[in-house]
């Protein structure tokens, strides 16, 4: 398999995984879960692909404490961030209100994420 093709498969596998989970995993958890699907993948490759996906706006990062976590959901949602957890809140009325507020300030939101720190 060509290096390009291998890279595409690795990247697609990581992206699909992040589209499906709602646990906002850290890089180590992603590496361990992807290794089950692609045993030959290295930790460095997973980290590099995660950085690329963030740069391409395919996934987002969230910080909890001093830990970086990843989110591959494409639709806007609200994050409740506690000391040790990140919970998604999908409330269409609240999201609509936020979208309207953003429009009032001449922003056209591509994605809505509100972080509530408790
Ligand atoms: Zn989320």
Q: How many Å lie between the centroid of ligand 1 and the Cα of residue 73?
A: 6
Q: Considering Cα of 23, then 24, then 26, then 29, what sign does the dihedral take?
A: positive
Whether the CB-CB separation of 43 and 53 falls below 8 Å is answered with no
What mean pLDDT comes out for the span 82-109?
87
Residue 108 buriedness (CB in 10 A; 0-12 / 13-18 / 19+): exposed
Q: Is 8 in the same domain as 29?
A: yes
Asked whether residue 4 falls in the same domain as residue 51, the answer is: yes
Residue 28 has pLDDT above 80, yes or no: yes
CATH number of the structural domain spanning residue 114: 3.30.1490.190
Residues 54 and 44 in one domain: yes
Cα separation values, 102 from 51, 74, 76, 78, Å: 28, 18, 13, 15
Q: What pLDDT was estimated at residue 43? A: 97
Q: Does one domain contain both 102 and 63?
A: no
* Model confidence pLDDT, tens digit, residues 55-81: 999 999 998 888 999 999 877 788 888
Going by their DSSP bridges, the two strands 67-71 and 78-81 should be labelled as: unpaired
Distance 38 CA to ligand 1 centre (A): 25
- Do residues 62 and 86 touch, judged by C-beta distance below 8 A? yes
55 and 8 part of one domain: yes
* DSSP 8-state secondary structure symbol assigned to residue 60: E
Residue 4 Cα to ligand 1 midpoint, Å, equals 30
Task: Report which of residues 41 and 78 the model is more confident about.
Answer: 41
How far apart are the CA of 90 and the centre of ligand 1, in A?
9
Query: Distance from the CA of 22 to the center of ligand 1, in angstroms?
Result: 6
What is the whole-number distance in angstroms between the Cα of residue 60 and the centre of ligand 1?
A: 9
Do residues 52 and 83 share a domain?
A: no
Q: How many residues does the chain have?
A: 118
For residue 79, what are the domain limits? 75-118
């Amino acid at each position: 398999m060509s290096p390009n093709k291998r890279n595409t498969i690795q990247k697609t596998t990581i992206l699909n995984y992040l589209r499906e989970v709602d646990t906002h995993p850290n890089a180590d958890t992603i590496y361990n879960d992807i290794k089950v699907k692609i045993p030959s993948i290295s930790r460095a490759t997973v980290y590099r692909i995660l950085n690329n996906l963030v740069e391409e706006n395919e996934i987002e990062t969230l910080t909890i404490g001093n830990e970086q976590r990843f989110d591959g959901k494409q639709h806007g949602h609200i994050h409740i961030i506690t000391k040790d957890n990140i919970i998604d809140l999908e409330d269409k009325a609240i999201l609509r209100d936020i979208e309207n507020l953003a429009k009032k300030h001449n922003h056209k939101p591509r994605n809505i994420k509100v972080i509530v720190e408790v």
